[in-house]
A and B are shown apart, each in its own frame.
Chain A
Amino acid sequence: MTRSADYRKVRFGIISFAHVHINRYLPEILSNPKAELVAIVGIGSNKELAERKARELGISYYESLSDMIANSQVEAVYIASEPYLHKEIIEILAPEGIAVLCDKPLATTMEDAEKIAEIVDKHNLKFMMPFNPRFQKPVIKLAQMVRSGELGELISLYTVKVGKNPLTIKGMDTSWFADKERAGFGGFGDIGIHAVDGIRYITGSEVRKVRAYIYSKVHSLDVDDFGVAFMEMENGTQVTLVSGWFNPKGYPTWLNIRFEALGTRGVFTVEKPYHDYWIYTDEGAFRKDWLRVDVPIAVDTFIRSVIDDIEPPITIKDALQNFRVMWYAYESARRGKEMIIE
């Protein structure tokens, strides 16, 4: 095992500024002592923003992946593009052996998702998808208590993962979130896929059945913004997930996240994943996080897996399985019946 002081710096690239998550990942990549950001590639939405940031930070900016590969000796990248570009990007990076930290969802179609998994496997590519709940301390504690048997048999899990409308984010072009061709899912899948990973992680089991109701009924968008899925896990745990982009403007944080687990020997409620202050002003009440460790740990975990050449904790198998569960949920809503996930 390498001591942290001995860690070398990984040459890191950022592919695209399309996803709003770039605003969280860029500072963490920049501040991580084991990473050196050497390239930004401006593909997809928000190219101007990508170029401006590269200039401000004094980092090489590239118009294409091939330019980046030819000139930057990048070892690892964070992909924040629209999901429909993931396959094309990974197809180019995989033969070069460039490790990939790819934002969710994996793709926009089942066919593309499976193709990406094939490519990753074929090239033995180091791949991680950063599903935040796995790095949130209350969720980790809940998963530990389930695994150790401290909560007894897990009977039910109620999960809330609700965000505000991403199209209202200022300073970025987020219109692609409401374009099924580019985003794949609407609000239910966009946010709910994090919860699906959290559910699989907490229960230690796979989703066997799903019955979902998914609608576009809040913001008059071309994609869905509200949904509920009722799931049954292989171990019998019954799961209810409510998700979408319907967190009201007045909610004190962007996200409303909760897990309520009922076990035969305990009830565990994750009221919120982060530590925060309540702030009251003449304009209203707000919450401000004072400790949020999930994104820094996700970035650091990925970088360590590159340096130590070990498997990241969230693999392409997880990314594909979470995508499949979500895909089946949408199929269930579309067909109006319960789906069995093989």
Chain B
Amino acid sequence: MRVLIVGVGNIVRKAYLLAIKKLTMDLGVPLQLVGGYDINSETLAEFKKQAEELLGYPVKTFQDLDAALEEAELVIISTPTFSHYEIADKALDMGINVYLEKPPTRYSWQLQALLDKARSMGLGLMIGHPRRFDPRFKVLKEIVQKLGAPLFIRISERASLPQNDSWRWHYDLSGGVILDVGIHYVHLINWLLENDLKLEVRARRVSEASRRWGAPDWAELILRSPETLVSVEVSWVGPKGASESAICLETFFKGASMRLSDLESPGWYISQSSGNFHKIRYSALYSSPIEAFVEEVKYTFEGLETGELSKLYVVAEESLRSMRLLEEALKSSIISS
């Protein structure tokens, strides 16, 4: 299956390329990365170099989207959120299966339109929600199935975002940290609890970039099912060295509790004669281990290969429900500075 990546920035180089390498070279999945498209020629050149080193065969680069799409059977779209809809819509029109990095679209109506089109054309539409393929959360789901609905779940994901004029700081382009990171967890909790959810959001604009360009950079998503309360803290603000606290997860059940902290996850502690003491991570990404992306791309490939597109639509539908829940909650939430 010929795969094209549109938008070859950070997540592609840290996750998708490694996942494709593992899938094709270790697991024998017949995927071929035909090339990458990006508007930035430097990014494109770096991508080509890394991809060819990893995969051992030539990889094309494109700055003409139509020409790029002509080459693909499956397109992985990893551009800024606001551009997803247009690119995905074009790809579907050209009869190409679509894998959209999260958040799938800026607005839920766009995802609904894409899903309708994919269904009517018999094409695959998958949304990249790696948390549900993440071994840590898969084990949590097993425990929930064994012990019953939790009383309370707390998840915290924090990253330090550069204070530059990136599209992410513009609320209308990215949806801020609420959509950009929050969608991971609304989707995850939907998948985990399989129950009706209510959502409230409290959000803040803390950093100078957030206040200047409008995208909230801190939020707590409070989700409630009939049996479970969930608090999800998502933040783009914090110290640069806070990577060790990137993801914390705590779950309380009736008669049990469990906790995962990146402080306790595998890594290498380095104590230096300079007096510095720090931890080197085992994963290039703070948020997900590479195994999650491997599983996710494999799941997509298998759905397309076997023609079981409903497996992909289920994920897209859950993503759509999560988008709608977020949009509804944002209507009544106050974003404070």
Instruction: Using CB atoms and an 8 Å cutoff, list the residues of chain A in contact with chain B.
Output: 152-153, 155-156, 158, 160, 162, 213, 217-218, 226, 228, 230, 232, 236, 238, 240, 242, 246-251, 256, 260, 262-267, 269, 271
Contact = CB atoms under 8 A, between A and B. Distances in A.
B218 A156 contact: yes
A155 B204 contact: yes
B169 to A, nearest CB: 16
Contacts of A256: 257
14 contacts: A156-B220, A158-B231, A160-B250, A226-B152, A230-B220, A246-B151, A250-B256, A256-B257, A260-B156, A262-B156, A262-B237, A263-B238, A264-B239, A267-B238
Nearest to B254: A218
A238 B204 contact: yes
A267 B158 contact: yes
B232 to A, nearest CB: 10
B245 A267 contact: yes
Interface of B: 151-152, 154, 156, 158, 202, 204, 206-207, 218, 220, 222, 224, 229, 231, 233, 235, 237-239, 242, 245, 248, 250, 252-257, 263, 336
Given A267-B238, A267-B242, A240 B231 contact: yes
Nearest to A153: B206
Contacts of B253: 248
Contacts of A236: 204, 336
B239 A265 contact: yes
Nearest to B258: A248
Given A155-B237, A246-B252, A264-B207, 7 more contacts: A155-B238, A156-B218, A158-B154, A242-B152, A242-B231, A247-B257, A250-B256
A153 B151 CA distance: 31
Contact of B254 (A156, A217, A267): A217
Identify the interface centre among A158, A262, A269, A271: most chain B CB within 10 Å of its CB.
A262
Contacts of B151: 217-218, 226, 246
Nearest to A156: B233
A153 B220 CA distance: 17
Contacts of B222: 230
Given A213-B229, A238-B204, A267-B158, A155 B254 contact: no
A324 to B, nearest CB: 22
Nearest to B218: A155
Contacts of B202: 230, 232, 238
Nearest to B206: A155
B196 to A, nearest CB: 16
Contacts of B242: 266-267
Contact of B252 (A152, A155, A242, A264): A242
Nearest to B231: A240
Identify the interface centre among A153, A156, A226, A266: most chain B CB within 10 Å of its CB.
A156
A195 B202 CA distance: 21
Contacts of B207: 264
Contact of A267 (B206, B239, B257): B239
Nearest to A256: B257
A258 to B, nearest CB: 9
A232 B202 CA distance: 10
B254 to A, nearest CB: 5
Contacts of A240: 154, 220, 231, 233
Nearest to A250: B256
Nearest to B337: A236
Contacts of A265: 239
Contacts of A263: 238-239
A271 B255 CA distance: 21
A152 B185 CA distance: 27
A240 B153 CA distance: 12
Contacts of A247: 257
